[in-house]
Structure 1
Amino acid sequence: MSTSTEPQIYYVNNGDGSFSRIVSDSGVAPTLSESAEFITEGEYTAQLATMQQEHADRVAAAEAAQQQAAKDDYDALIASGLPAGTARRLSGYTPPED
């Protein structure tokens, strides 16, 4: 007859800017690297939310920069005398409708 241990969840700050959620049913806490430490679920959740927000901010900034570059290209193409439709296709920019 086998006995199973209820899964235990451990939250870890890995000490390198990353965080882990470890599920173990061995009944023994995992061995951590020297720089890692156990943290609470609340600390893990807060850090995860912070990391997700920072990622979303970086994605938004990259998208805004890409959109601005496309607009700059569009403006330059229009200034060079190209028709608006051609400038839109070449630059990938769609100006807002008036």
Structure 2
Amino acid sequence: MDETIFYYLNPDGAVSLRAYVGVDEITHPQDAVILTREEYESRLAAIEAQHEAEAAATRDQEQAQKRADYEALITLGLPAESAARISGYTPPS
């Protein structure tokens, strides 16, 4: 049996796909726009790139906060080793 794949752009901006095998009647998701495979792959790549950029920004913010905490602990007089352990920041060697 042949497989038929449909690619969709959902109302919330997400993309999805459905594979049908041996189905006489195909029902598409309500309010979804049918995409070509190329459109689907392009939109999916853009979504994944956006997610990765957001994750990288979050990691950068977390690292900056750890460094600020580390420096504050050093300023309070804690030994560097203790400040690193408490803050989770690993200073450069």
| Residue aligning to 1:32 | 29
* Aligned twin of 2:18: 22
Q: What RMSD, in angstroms, separates the aligned Cα atoms of the two structures?
A: 1.1
Q: Structure 1, unaligned stretches of length 5 or more? A: none
Q: Look up the match of 2:46.
A: 50
Which residues in structure 2 correspond to 1:1-98 (within 5 Å)? 5-25=1-21, 26-33=23-30, 35-97=31-93
**Aligned pair in 2 of structure 1 residues 27, 6: CA closer, same or farther (>3 Å)?**
farther
Cα deviation, 1:31-60, whole Å, max 9, x if unaligned, reads 330x21111000000000000000000110
State the Cα distance separating 1:14 from its structure 2 match: 1.3
5+ residue gaps, structure 2: none
TM-score by length of 2: 0.92
How far apart, CA to CA, are the structure 1 residues paired with 2:24 and 2:42?
26
SS of the equivalent of 1:81 reads: coil
Q: Paired residues, what number?
A: 92
Rounded Cα–Cα distance in structure 2 between residues aligned with 1:73 and 1:42: 46
Q: Which runs of 4+ in 1 moved over 2 A?
A: 27-32
Instruction: Tell me by how many angstroms 1:16 deviates.
Output: 1.5
